[in-house]
Amino acid sequence: MTWQSLSTWWWPYVFILLAGWLPTDIWRWIGVLIGGRVREDSEALVVVRAMATALVAGVIAQLILYPSGSLAGSSMFLRVGAAAVGFAAYLGLGRRVIVGVLVAEVILISGLSLDL
């Protein structure tokens, strides 16, 4: 079965609904239903936080090591440097995520505009 074998106009929308929205939305609703009953220091919540942190770290590593799009044209030095300086800004300026992200973005955008 391929995309070309289904000639109806609505099939891509059904696929997006079934493969994209439904699996993620189910977990959101489960989180809403049981979120109020889980203690903040429970072992289950520690595991969930660890998995979420690992997923974010994996996405960041993939963007740095195997970039796509316009980021692929940048040097590894620029990508790693922007991430390192952003992390240092996060640690040094009050552990605020937005500060680290903005500092890293400014460095990355400046480096891309200067063709570093």
Long-range contacts of 72-77 (CB under 8 A, 24+ apart): 73/112, 74/108, 74/111, 74/112, 74/116, 75/111, 75/116, 77/116
Q: What is the pLDDT along the chain (116 residues), one digit of tens a residue?
A: 665 667 778 887 888 888 888 888 888 888 888 888 888 888 988 998 899 999 999 999 999 999 999 899 999 999 999 999 999 999 999 999 999 999 999 999 999 999 86
SS3 23: helix
Predicted model pTM: 0.67
